[in-house]
Chains A and B, each alone.
Chain A
């Protein structure tokens, strides 16, 4: 039979180095001592009922709020206070009293469970002070660095601001210059165009004359070729030997068809052949030349190269990453739900144009000196104009970039400005993680493989009182059957700017820890001498 009595504890509170004994029921914090007076009936702290004082800590729950059993596990909602002298006091749920697990460093929660607990408060206090001290140093130095960062950022910002202003002024001038050069260019181009057209027209006329002459010669040559018996006439039968002239393309040139070509005549002489020639010249194959080779168009190079990843089980030993990929894609080995990447390496068809066999047209003769002079002048005007226009575009880009940078929220004092356009890497056993603040987060397998986007800059997303403690990067590469990858970057105070850890707490939701002086708070101006926690 277990019967627990009212257990009073002796509590040592260290105040100004003098131990003072304060008596109160087990598990009651000093702040509530006045409610537990041994001489009086106890009223539950919620006021719900009053019980004799011997029912306080009697291991039976009488108060709905659990306040009658601060030192036992009897109430489901009670809480137990441990003083933890040398460390910090704390409340634990009363369900942790005598459960065989040491929760309070002063061992007071396990007074009847047989658990062997050691008082570790001093050790914990010492460690905590060390940590706090170290933290304080880091904070102090970090905060100094932060001031510099703020200084630099302010300076940089001002510089950029004035640079933008300067550039905008310059841009105006450049705008004018571009406009002026455009006029010059257009003025120079008009005479150039006219001179060129004149030159071209003369050339076209010359070419037409040459073509006509050539046709005539060809006609005469053909006549001679067709006139097999050399009687000065081309007859129907002579024409029929050229099956390629067949008008209905049935493969034979019949007598009637040949007669048709010859305008109904049985035979034609050189002069009447002139009316036959236009009907046959396109199809006619000279007997002297080989039939034109038929160009076969080259096969398009279009071999689908199936990515190895879609082979469900690569033959070789599967490395860790591939393992994971397999599961990503195969999951429960269901083909139908598989993501397949069909990668097609496609060569742009290189169509061989047949070399020109008939160099029947001579090149255009060079421009005459006057025309050439006009062209040169126009070209110079064009070059000048384009150069000016390019300079204008570049300046626009520069202005836009600076304005973009200036538009970012770099913190209340612009202390995060220095992170802009920087990247920080962390290499783990499998991946190289890369954080480019205000831009993107990515992950790349250490041993080859393509980069995965873990999110692009979204917003500051810390708690309301300090949103600058978390960065959110969103809309990264999509996950199979899941959301797009995203990353939360947690910022903590540090002297150095460095990615300290990454993890994937939930599928495709990454967490990155990042230290930077920019979040270091001004150290509280308190003497960091060892402090004993005194509860009051």
Chain B
């Protein structure tokens, strides 16, 4: 008789902790990239047919011919208002129409007249407006050069790489040459340095929204989002290239100086023989047309406003969303939410949002609640509302295929799912198992999706519930490279055409839903993982599933800086690191860094141990409490910077070179950054660090340590000894920063609290700043001009508040409780001039640090007043 024995073998395939590169393509494995990249610079087969040139007022068209295959292309050129040029190239008679990306530009960009200066057989010279700029179209081979005075700013097809594949699917390539440029930035999202590297000998930077498991750092692999915008910068000029194409795209960068040593460059300089430094960029896209916006700057701020004029600015977030967010995969149930909420109060740590990940929904059916874990969502939300706090629940775009699920049934009956190539609903695996993917490219689908956020549709939701869109690359577990098959269909277009914009549409529809549920009154808050050019209009972005490692903390800085340069200011990384368990030191350092980044959220993987701020002993709880409080005290400044970003497109978190564009020492710095123009932050991102060296920019500047008020001169590398409690932050001399130093349980609780003004004097005893106040959550600032915007100026020993928006109308009960003047001298008397009256103000003077403190001047924050130092 045989004995049955059961042998159970557990096989644990443990790979090293890293991305599985085999899952993701290299350029060589991507047929079109390999083929197009194999084209070598040389004589372009394209020729401009000058006789076909047509010039209307602001539009020039011209045919190009490929002498090898006689296919004609149509070139369109536009001069856009605000110093931009648009170049479109499409097939004159395509076999199949090519996709042109909609919904990214906020409007058809307004044009300016173009005029022909000269024309002969070799080419045409066009005038580009009043700025002494010309555009030269060379006929044989075809190339474009943009000149200002005698200088070439940028050339297209100078290396002859323009290519359109016709018979195959629509691949296209174009090269750009940037004479005089050694520093290029942007094209997020990559886990890499701020300054883009040359790609010779390696893979190009890839733009293809992918759900990358345990991504690796310092390489050009694609990540969750794509913004095909590159900035080129030198001491003279900043320019931008916006390649409007939503298909898979690869970007090659080469430079004639990349290989040279500093000595080599110096030799070139001394001998005067040097070729001019030049960066060459090649864009390769799998489908679509060539539609390029060349933003000619010349200042960094001008490039930001140019790009903002095309794709819009950062949405103005609710004030509370700039506070601290507590997230975890997952807060288990209502009890857990309650006890974490209480934990913050017990440990006197402020927070504004607690988050629920996928486990909160009933079987990963978004818009529902797990009946056992979250039986009373409204009770839970009311409990948070009583504490003036908020919640975010996750709503992902993969929909469980389940005939008992309302959302699925409605999408099916409305025929809103993406189709596969056979015309059936496309299905893939994601968190709920078999899932459908709504076709967010359809406006009717987006309208319906938005309507699902209505309070009567999303049962259990309340006005303090906001949304998180994850997995919207889209992530398809069993799809190629963990995403959707390229031949899936969105109406008549293939997924390959629209891939990179899918995530933008998800966030767009969700944000719209939040606006609609309040009758258009309340500002939305939606976090997204996938993004595209224009995503800044809809909310916040985070850098995805990072890890509890020091290098991941470091990379959060260049990753968010890169996003800020191309419009997305509301950026953050998971504090603590998503995968793995951080050491206590790493966790504290991450809080210190995250508190000074725009989107400040702690998050952790399901398999990690709990890490709420109070779980690491009283000393560390105190350190974390302190830095979260610093964040809350600075909320007025953050809010004002977001208002500015919303109005002008200026990034909130910036590389130093944006404010010091002529200082070459700043061009590669990405371990420190500016918040606005006035705060310089050098987070400590090294384990066991005893000190950091911060570069303080600006020969004319002074910088004040915000903790000690010690003054340091600009244009120096400053060594700062650090302990675990140190966060090196400096305020620029010449600035005024309003703070709310009374930190409470949440930002909403601080609404009526008084301000303290931190006036940091420049060497010329001057300072200026702004104060922006509104209700913090509605669109009334926009629709009813209900806000206070004041200019604060310190000059000639007088600090004055004057109104920047006299026709605005908002009342605040906040007042000015204290004014600190850093770098001041001791006055004999201080007077407050207001409403024609003068009243003396008490003050104290600290001689050691030259800090003058004005005690309780007491004026309303919205009033006109002057403080006189005598």
Name A residues whose Cβ lies closer than 8 Å to a Cβ of B: 1-3, 58-60, 73-74, 76, 93, 95-96, 99-101, 113, 301, 312-313, 317-318, 320, 323, 326-327, 330-350, 429-430, 479-483, 503-507, 509
Contact A509 B609 (CB under 8 A): yes
Q: A1-B815, A95-B348, A332-B213 are in contact. Are A318 and B433 (CB under 8 A)?
A: yes
Contact B749 A100 (CB under 8 A): yes
A-B contact count, CB below 8 Å? 147
User: Nearest chain B CB to A311's CB is how many angstroms away?
Assistant: 12
If over half of A's interface residues share one DSSP class (helix, strand or loop), that class is named, otherwise mixed; here it is loop
One digit per residue, 1 when the CB lies within 8 angstroms of any chain A CB and 0 when it does not, for chain B 712-745 equals 0000000000000000000000000000011111
Q: How far is the CA of A341 from the CA of B754 in the complex (A)?
A: 62
Contact B9 A1 (CB under 8 A): no
Q: A332-B213, A503-B332 are in contact. Are A349 and B477 (CB under 8 A)?
A: no
Question: Which single residue of chain A is at the shortest CB-CB distance from B580?
Answer: A481
If over half of B's interface residues share one DSSP class (helix, strand or loop), that class is named, otherwise mixed; here it is loop
Does B20 belong to the interface (CB within 8 Å)? yes
Does B7 belong to the interface (CB within 8 Å)? yes
User: Nearest chain A CB to B580's CB is how many angstroms away?
Assistant: 9
B6-51 CB contacts (< 8 Å) to partner A: 6-15, 20
Contact A320 B754 (CB under 8 A): no
Contact B5 A318 (CB under 8 A): no
Q: Which residues of A are found within 8 Å of B482, using beta-carbon distances?
A: 333
Contact B608 A507 (CB under 8 A): yes
Q: How far is the CA of A326 from the CA of B364 in the complex (A)?
A: 12
Question: Which single residue of chain A is at the shortest CB-CB distance from B610?
Answer: A506
Q: Which residues of B are found within 8 Å of A482, using beta-carbon distances?
A: 607
Question: Which single residue of chain B is at the shortest CB-CB distance from A60?
Answer: B856
Q: A333-B477, A334-B213 are in contact. Are A76 and B387 (CB under 8 A)?
A: no
User: Nearest chain B CB to A217's CB is how many angstroms away?
Assistant: 40
Q: How far is the CA of A152 from the CA of B856 in the complex (A)?
A: 72
Q: Which residues of B are found within 8 Å of A347, using beta-carbon distances?
A: 2-4
User: Nearest chain B CB to A484's CB is how many angstroms away?
Assistant: 13
Contact B363 A323 (CB under 8 A): yes
Contact A320 B10 (CB under 8 A): no
Does B434 belong to the interface (CB within 8 Å)? yes
User: Nearest chain B CB to A301's CB is how many angstroms away?
Assistant: 8
Contact of B1 among A312, A350, A504 (CB under 8 A): A350
Contact B607 A349 (CB under 8 A): no
Q: How far is the CA of A429 from the CA of B750 in the complex (A)?
A: 42
Q: How far is the CA of A243 from the CA of B183 in the complex (A)?
A: 91
Question: Which single residue of chain A is at the shortest CB-CB distance from B430?
Answer: A333
User: Nearest chain B CB to A331's CB is how many angstroms away?
Assistant: 7
Contact B20 A343 (CB under 8 A): no
Does B669 belong to the interface (CB within 8 Å)? no
Q: How far is the CA of A36 from the CA of B779 in the complex (A)?
A: 47
Does B429 belong to the interface (CB within 8 Å)? yes
Contact A312 B429 (CB under 8 A): yes
Q: A60-B855, A313-B433, A332-B545 are in contact. Are A346 and B610 (CB under 8 A)?
A: no
Contact B607 A331 (CB under 8 A): yes
Other A-B pairs, 5, CB within 8 Å; known A73-B744, A95-B348, A482-B607: A60-B856, A318-B432, A323-B363, A336-B15, A506-B610
Q: Which residues of B are found within 8 Å of A74, using beta-carbon distances?
A: 742, 817
Contact of A341 among B8, B15, B348, B434 (CB under 8 A): B8
One digit per residue, 1 when the CB lies within 8 angstroms of any chain A CB and 0 when it does not, for chain B 829-867 equals 000000000000000000000000001101110000000
Q: A336-B20, A340-B11 are in contact. Are A93 and B5 (CB under 8 A)?
A: no
Q: A74-B742, A323-B363, A332-B545 are in contact. Are A337 and B607 (CB under 8 A)?
A: no
Contact A504 B332 (CB under 8 A): yes
Q: How far is the CA of A507 from the CA of B140 in the complex (A)?
A: 67
Q: How far is the CA of A347 from the CA of B429 in the complex (A)?
A: 37
Does B372 belong to the interface (CB within 8 Å)? yes
One digit per residue, 1 when the CB lies within 8 angstroms of any chain A CB and 0 when it does not, for chain B 86-123 equals 00000000000000000000000000000000000000
Does B275 belong to the interface (CB within 8 Å)? no
Question: Which single residue of chain A is at the shortest CB-CB distance from B350?
Answer: A95
Q: Which residues of B are found within 8 Å of A327, using beta-carbon distances?
A: 431, 606
User: Nearest chain A CB to B314's CB is how many angstroms away?
Assistant: 29
Contact A318 B363 (CB under 8 A): yes
Which 3 pairs of residues, A with B, have the shortest CB-CB distance? Answer: A99-B749, A333-B477, A506-B610
Q: Which residues of B are found within 8 Å of A340, using beta-carbon distances?
A: 10-11, 13
Size of the chain B interface, CB-CB below 8 angstroms: 65
User: Nearest chain B CB to A460's CB is how many angstroms away?
Assistant: 22
B224-254 CB contacts (< 8 Å) to partner A: none
Q: How far is the CA of A335 from the CA of B15 in the complex (A)?
A: 10
Q: Which residues of A are found within 8 Å of B214, using beta-carbon distances?
A: 332, 334
18 A-B contact pairs sorted by A residue (CB < 8 Å): A60-B818, A60-B855, A73-B744, A95-B348, A99-B749, A101-B388, A312-B478, A327-B606, A334-B20, A336-B20, A337-B13, A341-B10, A342-B11, A343-B6, A344-B9, A346-B4, A347-B2, A479-B607
Does B619 belong to the interface (CB within 8 Å)? no
Q: Which residues of B are found within 8 Å of A3, using beta-carbon distances?
A: 858
Q: How far is the CA of A479 from the CA of B607 in the complex (A)?
A: 8
Which among A332, A342, A347 has the greatest number of chain B C-beta atoms within 10 A? A332
Q: How far is the CA of A345 from the CA of B9 in the complex (A)?
A: 11
Q: Which residues of A are found within 8 Å of B11, using beta-carbon distances?
A: 339-342
Contact B364 A96 (CB under 8 A): no
User: Nearest chain B CB to A162's CB is how many angstroms away?
Assistant: 45
Q: How far is the CA of A344 from the CA of B11 in the complex (A)?
A: 13
Contact B858 A100 (CB under 8 A): no
B131-153 CB contacts (< 8 Å) to partner A: none
B189-228 CB contacts (< 8 Å) to partner A: 211, 213-214
Contact A76 B742 (CB under 8 A): yes
Does B813 belong to the interface (CB within 8 Å)? yes
Q: Which residues of A are found within 8 Å of B859, using beta-carbon distances?
A: 1
Does B422 belong to the interface (CB within 8 Å)? no
Contact B372 A429 (CB under 8 A): yes
Q: Which residues of B are found within 8 Å of A479, using beta-carbon distances?
A: 607
User: Nearest chain A CB to B104's CB is how many angstroms away?
Assistant: 30
Contact B12 A339 (CB under 8 A): yes
Q: How far is the CA of A495 from the CA of B745 in the complex (A)?
A: 40
Contact B860 A1 (CB under 8 A): yes
Question: Which single residue of chain A is at the shortest CB-CB distance from B11?
Answer: A340
Contact B348 A506 (CB under 8 A): no
Which among A74, A100, A340 has the greatest number of chain B C-beta atoms within 10 A? A100
Q: Which residues of B are found within 8 Å of A59, using beta-carbon distances?
A: 817, 856
Contact A507 B429 (CB under 8 A): no
Q: Which residues of A are found within 8 Å of B12, using beta-carbon distances?
A: 339
Does B386 belong to the interface (CB within 8 Å)? yes
Q: A1-B860, A74-B817, A349-B2 are in contact. Are A101 and B7 (CB under 8 A)?
A: no
Question: Which single residue of chain A is at the shortest CB-CB distance from B3?
Answer: A348
Q: How far is the CA of A335 from the CA of B11 in the complex (A)?
A: 12
Q: A2-B815, A96-B744, A334-B213 are in contact. Are A313 and B434 (CB under 8 A)?
A: yes
Q: Which residues of A are found within 8 Å of B10, using beta-carbon distances?
A: 339-341
Does B336 belong to the interface (CB within 8 Å)? yes
Q: How far is the CA of A511 from the CA of B659 in the complex (A)?
A: 53
Contact A76 B743 (CB under 8 A): yes
Contact A338 B13 (CB under 8 A): yes
Q: Which residues of A are found within 8 Å of B855, using beta-carbon distances?
A: 60
Contact of A101 among B14, B431, B743, B749 (CB under 8 A): B749
User: Nearest chain B CB to A72's CB is how many angstroms away?
Assistant: 9
Does B775 belong to the interface (CB within 8 Å)? no
Q: How far is the CA of A436 from the CA of B418 in the complex (A)?
A: 53
Q: Which residues of B are found within 8 Å of A509, using beta-carbon distances?
A: 609
Does B463 belong to the interface (CB within 8 Å)? no
One digit per residue, 1 when the CB lies within 8 angstroms of any chain A CB and 0 when it does not, for chain B 376-415 equals 0000000000111000000000000010000000000000
Question: Which single residue of chain B is at the shortest CB-CB distance from A509?
Answer: B609
Q: Which residues of B are found within 8 Å of A330, using beta-carbon distances?
A: 477
Q: Which residues of A are found within 8 Å of B786, using beta-carbon distances?
A: none
Contact A313 B2 (CB under 8 A): no
Contact A336 B13 (CB under 8 A): yes
Q: Which residues of A are found within 8 Å of B336, using beta-carbon distances?
A: 503, 505
Does B753 belong to the interface (CB within 8 Å)? yes
User: Nearest chain B CB to A103's CB is how many angstroms away?
Assistant: 9
